[in-house]
């Protein structure tokens, strides 16, 4: 499937609001997960224990918006 979970950009709703890119105002985003690495976990090779975040990448200007949790 490549870099993104879905092959086509999608509209995204966050807490009942349609997400718009804060840079260009576009409404279509690619979704992917990113691990939030910490120095301590990396030092001890426990990167797998770090939290992850959802990243929404604007399909127009590629600005990345990060979200923790579901």
Residue 55 belongs to a domain with what CATH number? 2.20.25
What tens digit of pLDDT does each residue of 5-58 get? Answer: 567 999 999 999 999 999 999 999 999 887 665 555 455 565 555 567 889 999
Total tally of structural domains belonging to the chain = 1
Q: Are 22 and 7 in contact (CB under 8 A)?
A: no
Q: What is the pLDDT of residue 7?
A: 79
DSSP state of 49: G
If we measure between CA atoms, which residue out of 13, 17, 30 comes closest to residue 64?
Answer: 30
Beta bridge partners of 29: 10, 58
Q: Is 2 helix (H, G, I), strand (E, B) or coil?
A: coil
Domain that holds residue 19: 13-68
Distance CA 54, CA 43 (A): 24
């Amino acid at each position: 499937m490549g870099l993104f979970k879905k092959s086509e950009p999608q509209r995204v709703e966050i807490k009942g609001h349609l997400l718009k890119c804060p840079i260009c105002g576009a409404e279509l985003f690619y979704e992917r997960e990113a691990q939030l690495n910490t120095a301590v976990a990396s030092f001890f090779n426990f990167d797998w224990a770090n939290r992850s975040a959802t990243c929404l990448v604007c399909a127009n200007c590629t600005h990345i918006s990060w979200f923790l949790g579901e």
